[in-house]
């Protein structure tokens, strides 16, 4: 775990009394039950703990202590208490379920709530406690469970309810065939790489014998035998796993479009054909083993790329989970009694009513009926503060209902919802982003051709001068010494080392091309919440009598309201001896109480007016300024007179200003793109020294997407965001950066995830990218220099094939050492970038 | 030295056998999920003890 998040946990723990016995998160003061041995942070955790104990599965907690986290992020358990009847739907089962020969049924479902190996253990232990379940097999990384059960003994919805009682929700796949397709494609890749690797290494081994033999004046028959073996292997490599390159190249040639596989295919074919010709003639030299090695290395590179694309596709599946696939429709039976029944979301029709229980996401866009509700939009917008929606107000699919259950009248469902349209944007954006051809990929094809041409030149040059035998010996030495191993290893090694070091520093980078793109200086687009600001309510300013502020803190210590906590945090230290009595809270207005003989009121301007408290002009002006700066003013009245004003808002991070100006100095154009009020955004921008034209507020998701695609911005565009409204922009930006605790979907779409909030981890990532890219460049330079020097020495006859074969691994080793030592994810101290740029 | 005519094909055959084993493992989806099995290895150390006897009779049979 990174220092920063560990620190955050300790800080949070210090504020509360205990840690939750289930999820280990700190228990909020309001939930602490004095005298209990076990404390829980929420009802969900308490319920799950009870259910586990009842089922005799207490071992879960031992298991958890031993197993390292898969997702690694603790979160409270969620028990929805849903019926899951839709899982018993005949049409659904026909599509998703398979029946095996022994009469058992099996199904693959997504599982929400898996956090670590102990969760896997728990789910796989289900057959022991639930009769009718034969086996559960969990893929913890992808969150997939394969359940085999007896339908005659237990229905699937029953099993799902059991899972739910332990805090895991079963979710059907939107497209079950896609999962199988991906798996098959992955298998094919692995087989291809396995074959290519086996051929490459064997060809290399035989080639070593060949070169050693040439030097020891091996008989021609043996030499030819070795040559034929190598050539045969190379042909097999090209015809088998290497066929991808040929078909791509042929397709590109037919379409008359340049493609990176064209030079690769040409080089490979040239090397193999030259080898075949030389072997048939019984003279000359071959270069086939290097071709086989290149096929292998290139395939490995491609596989990493494929893995990333697969991940992206799987994420779309996860994104769909923002909107539940099952809705609870409210119907009336013959007697006019209201009932709810679970139906697939696709079956919803506008005008119908659905019930959404607390903690659940709304299944469709609609209008709230009946009572008002609090909704958590963090999945959609990344805003952590719940919003209140009045009855009749619009509610979007994916917003999570808090507190009491709510009724929603469906306006649009399915593909027409706002969330579905957002997902469409995301998919579109990820597909339109041009693939980045890695440096090594671009070079390898040309490299092969140049080497073969040079080898031919060596023979042509020396034949008339020193005779055929010596000329071909020099050509062989040349080919061996210029083996592309180091060149092929240069990039992947540095990338692997860079990604590994980043992960240890809380910077999770999803691919080497990301580091390559972020290494240059371009535009940095920040969202306001979380990255620049603290992302929580705090006192950002105050005016007036300090004693009144202390009294306010005493009074507010009796309230659980977020603003109250902020006031206690800011002013509560000095007045702990006082106690408030007769405390009364007026929801939406404020709080009042007696401290000693004085009547103290804290609340909004509306509250002050309603109790007719005298308001000095000074404080009224201060409040207007605070509102202009994006903060909410809260007043403190003592004995009927307003004595002080506190501005409550989202405070700007302490390190933000310094970091922004450092980034600006090193050439980054820093922008703010936020969905918040433009006034607030421009206020934040002013504080940070960001130009007014670069501070954009009230942006819709589409506008954010438009922004990162703007042609006039310096490339690369690095977009930082954490909400679903940022998703499309994150996917479309050259580098999308998600911040921890943001909407889960943003982690999946983004190229980089930062384990800690704030702008400093971002700077660390940019520094690490630069450092990794420098390592790659240095490594390429080393291997090319090595090849040029070695090639020249071989050309003039100073290196014989055996010495070349011994020297060959040396360049690879150099590259390895450099890669492991070099990339650093450190924030450069002082007035850097100029210095490190020069160090290249 | 004639030995190489035998030794080399034999070496290739052994390599081929290893490759076949790999292909079998890949086709068997053994490389699908590389993170869960390591933690699963820990599970077998901990059979359900009598102290925590599961309520359901099916438990023993299934495990």
Specify whether the CB–CB gap between A173 and A96 falls below 8 A: yes
The Cα A252–Cα A772 span in angstroms is 32
Q: Please name the residue that has the structure tokens 């270069």.
A: A287
**CB distance B26–A190 less than 8 Å?**
yes
- So what's the pLDDT on residue A796? 83
Q: Does B61 touch chain A (CB under 8 A)?
A: no
- So what's the pLDDT on residue A547? 83
Q: Which of A56, A124, A132 sits opposite B55 (nearest CB)?
A: A56
Mean pLDDT confidence for A264-271: 76
- So what's the pLDDT on residue B25? 92
- So what's the pLDDT on residue B18? 94
Q: Is the pLDDT of residue B17 over 90?
A: yes
- So what's the pLDDT on residue A338? 79
Pull the structure tokens for residue A249: 């190249």
- So what's the pLDDT on residue A824? 75
- So what's the pLDDT on residue B10? 93
Q: Is the pLDDT of residue A512 over 60?
A: yes
- So what's the pLDDT on residue A185? 87
- So what's the pLDDT on residue A66? 64
In which band, very low, low, confident or very high, does the pLDDT at A12 lie, cut at 50, 70 and 90? very low
On the 0-12 / 13-18 / 19+ scale of CB atoms within 10 A, A325 is: middle
Q: Please indicate whether residue A105 or residue A302 has the higher confidence score (pLDDT).
A: A105
Q: Does B6 touch chain A (CB under 8 A)?
A: no
**CB distance B39–A140 less than 8 Å?**
yes
Q: Please indicate whether residue A29 or residue A657 has the higher confidence score (pLDDT).
A: A657
Q: Above pLDDT 70, what percent of chain A?
A: 81
Helix H or strand E segment including A180: helix A176-215
Q: Is the pLDDT of residue A2 over 50?
A: no
Measured between beta carbons, the chain B residues lying within 8 angstroms of A219 are 1
Beta-carbon contacts of A680 under 8 Å, excluding residues fewer than 6 positions away, are A528, A629, A630, A674, A697
Fill in the DSSP letter of residue A241. Answer: T
Residue of B nearest to A179 (CA): B32
Beta-carbon contacts of A418 under 8 Å, excluding residues fewer than 6 positions away, are A365, A396, A397
Mean pLDDT confidence for A396-404: 77
Identify which of A82-86, A147-151, A360-364, A566-570 has the greatest average pLDDT: A147-151
Q: Is the pLDDT of residue A131 over 80?
A: yes
Residue pLDDT, tens place only, A681-737? 787 788 788 888 888 877 777 788 888 888 778 878 888 887 767 777 888 888 888
The Cα A123–Cα A131 span in angstroms is 14
- So what's the pLDDT on residue A802? 65
Q: Does A72 touch chain B (CB under 8 A)?
A: no
- So what's the pLDDT on residue A830? 44
For the ranges A104-118, A389-403, A427-441, A674-688, the lowest mean pLDDT is seen at: A427-441
Mean pLDDT confidence for A64-77: 57
In which band, very low, low, confident or very high, does the pLDDT at A381 lie, cut at 50, 70 and 90? low
- So what's the pLDDT on residue A595? 84
Specify whether the CB–CB gap between A330 and A351 falls below 8 A: no
Q: Which of A117, A125, A186 sits opposite B32 (nearest CB)?
A: A186
Q: Is the pLDDT of residue A281 over 80?
A: no
For the ranges A60-74, A96-110, A279-293, the lowest mean pLDDT is seen at: A60-74
- So what's the pLDDT on residue A224? 83
Q: Does B3 touch chain A (CB under 8 A)?
A: no
For the ranges A237-241, A495-499, B22-26, the lowest mean pLDDT is seen at: A495-499
Q: Is the pLDDT of residue A376 over 80?
A: no
In which band, very low, low, confident or very high, does the pLDDT at A605 lie, cut at 50, 70 and 90? confident
Helix H or strand E segment including A800: none
Fill in the DSSP letter of residue A574. Answer: G
Measured between beta carbons, the chain B residues lying within 8 angstroms of A311 are none
- So what's the pLDDT on residue A138? 86
CA atoms within 13 A on the CB side of A64: 19
CA angle A144, A149, A155 (to 5 degrees): 100
Mean pLDDT confidence for A247-274: 76
Q: Does B34 touch chain A (CB under 8 A)?
A: yes
- So what's the pLDDT on residue A308? 63
Computed over every residue of chain A, the mean pLDDT equals 77
- So what's the pLDDT on residue A743? 59
State the Cα torsion A71-A76-A82-A88 to the nearest 10°.
20
Q: Is the pLDDT of residue B46 over 50?
A: no
Residue pLDDT, tens place only, A780-807? 888 888 888 888 888 887 877 667 766 7
Mean pLDDT confidence for A583-609: 83
Q: Please indicate whether residue A730 or residue A811 has the higher confidence score (pLDDT).
A: A730
Q: Give alpha helix (H) positions in A364-511.
A: 378-381, 418-432, 439-466, 468-481, 485-504
CB pairs under 8 A between A and B: 116
Residue pLDDT, tens place only, A741-770? 655 666 667 788 787 767 778 888 888 888
Q: How far is A291 from chain B (nearest CA, A)?
A: 18
The Cα A168–Cα A741 span in angstroms is 20
């Amino acid at each position: 775990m990174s220092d920063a998040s560990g620190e955050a946990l300790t800080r949070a723990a210090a504020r509360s009394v205990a840690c939750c016995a289930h999820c280990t998160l700190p228990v909020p003061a309001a939930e602490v039950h004095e005298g209990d041995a076990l404390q829980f942070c929420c009802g969900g955790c308490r319920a799950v703990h009870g259910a586990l104990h009842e089922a005799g599965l207490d071992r879960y907690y031992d298991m958890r202590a031993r197993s390292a986290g898969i997702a690694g992020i603790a979160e409270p358990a969620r028990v929805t208490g849903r019926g899951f009847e839709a899982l018993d739907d005949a049409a659904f089962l026909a599509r998703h379920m398979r029946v095996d020969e022994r009469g058992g049924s099996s199904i693959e479902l997504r599982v929400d709530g898996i956090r670590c190996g102990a969760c896997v253990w728990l789910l796989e232990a289900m057959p022991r406690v639930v009769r009718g379940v034969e086996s559960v097999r969990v893929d913890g990384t992808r969150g997939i469970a394969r359940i085999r059960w007896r339908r005659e003994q237990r229905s699937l919805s029953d099993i799902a309810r059991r899972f739910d009682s332990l805090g895991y929700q079963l979710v059907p796949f939107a497209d079950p065939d896609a999962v199988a397709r991906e798996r098959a494609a992955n298998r094919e890749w692995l087989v291809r790489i396995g074959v290519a690797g086996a051929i490459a290494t064997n060809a290399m081994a035989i080639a070593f014998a060949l070169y050693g033999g040439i030097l020891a004046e091996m008989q021609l028959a043996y030499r030819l035998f070795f040559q034929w073996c190598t050539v045969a292997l190379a042909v097999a490599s090209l015809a088998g796993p290497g066929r991808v390159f040929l078909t791509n190249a042929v397709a590109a040639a037919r379409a008359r479009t340049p493609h990176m596989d064209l030079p690769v295919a040409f080089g490979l074919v040239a090397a193999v054909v030259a080898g075949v010709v030389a072997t048939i003639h019984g003279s000359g030299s071959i270069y086939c083993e290097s071709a086989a090695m290149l096929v292998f290395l290139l395939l490995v590179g491609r596989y990493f790329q494929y893995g990333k694309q697969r991940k992206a596709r799987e994420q779309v599946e996860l994104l769909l989970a923002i909107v539940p696939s099952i809705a609870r429709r409210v119907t009336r039976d013959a007697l006019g009694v209201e009932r709810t029944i679970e139906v697939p979301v696709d079956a919803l029709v506008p005008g119908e009513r659905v019930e959404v229980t607390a903690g659940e996401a709304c299944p469709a866009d609609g209008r709230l009926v009946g009572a008002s509700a609090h909704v958590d939009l963090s999945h959609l917008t990344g805003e952590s503060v719940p919003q209140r929606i009045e009855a009749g107000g619009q509610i979007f699919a994916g917003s999570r209902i808090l507190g009491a259950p709510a009724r929603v009248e469906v306006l649009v469902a399915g593909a027409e919802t706002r969330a579905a349209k957002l997902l469409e944007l995301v998919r579109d954006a990820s597909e339109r982003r041009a693939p980045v051809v890695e440096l090594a990929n671009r070079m390898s094809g040309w490299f092969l051709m140049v080497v073969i041409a040079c080898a031919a030149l060596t023979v042509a040059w020396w034949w008339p001068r020193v005779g055929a035998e010596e000329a071909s010996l020099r050509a062989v030495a040349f080919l061996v010494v210029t083996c592309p191993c180091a060149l092929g290893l240069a990039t992947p090694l540095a990338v692997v080392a860079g990604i590994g070091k980043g992960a240890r520093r809380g910077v999770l980078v999803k691919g080497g091309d990301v580091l390559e793109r972020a290494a240059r200086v371009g535009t940095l687009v920040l969202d306001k919440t979380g990255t620049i600001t603290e992302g929580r309510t705090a006192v950002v300013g105050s005016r007036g009598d300090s004693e009144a502020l202390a009294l306010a803190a005493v009074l507010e210590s009796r309230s659980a309201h977020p603003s109250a906590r902020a006031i206690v945090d800011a002013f509560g230290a000095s007045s702990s001896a006082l106690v408030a009595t007769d405390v009364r809270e007026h929801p939406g207005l404020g709080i009042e109480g007696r401290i000693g003989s004085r009547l103290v009121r804290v609340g909004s301007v509306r509250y002050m007016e309603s109790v007719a408290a005298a308001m000095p002009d000074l404080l009224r002006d201060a409040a207007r300024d605070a509102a202009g700066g994006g903060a909410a003013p809260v007043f403190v009245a003592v004995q009927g007179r307003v004595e002080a004003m506190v501005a409550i808002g989202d405070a700007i991070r302490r390190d933000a200003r310094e970091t922004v100006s450092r980034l600006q100095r090193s050439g980054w154009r820093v922008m703010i793109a936020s969905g918040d009020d433009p006034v607030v955004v421009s206020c934040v921008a002013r504080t940070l020294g960001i130009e007014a034209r670069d501070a954009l507020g009230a942006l819709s998701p589409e506008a954010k997407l438009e922004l990162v695609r703007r042609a006039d911005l310096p490339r690369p565009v690095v977009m930082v965001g954490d909400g679903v409204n940022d998703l499309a922009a994150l996917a479309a930006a050259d580098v999308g950066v998600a911040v921890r605790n943001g909407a889960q979907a943003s982690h999946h779409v983004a190229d980089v995830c930062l384990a800690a909030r704030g702008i400093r981890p971002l700077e660390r990532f940019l520094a690490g990218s630069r450092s990794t890219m420098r390592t790659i460049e240095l490594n390429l330079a080393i291997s090319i220099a090595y090849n040029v020097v070695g090639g020249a020495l071989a050309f003039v006859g100073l290196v014989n094939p055996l010495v070349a074969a011994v020297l060959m691994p040396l360049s690879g080793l150099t590259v390895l050492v450099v890669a492991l030592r070099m990339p650093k994810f450190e924030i450069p101290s002082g007035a850097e970038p100029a210095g490190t740029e020069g160090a290249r | 030295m004639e030995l190489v005519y035998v030794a080399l094909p034999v070496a290739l055959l052994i390599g081929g056998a290893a490759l076949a084993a790999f292909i079998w493992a890949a086709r068997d989806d053994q490389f699908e999920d590389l993170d869960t099995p390591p933690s699963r290895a820990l599970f077998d150390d901990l059979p359900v003890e009598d102290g925590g006897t599961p309520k359901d009779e099916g438990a023993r049979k299934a495990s």
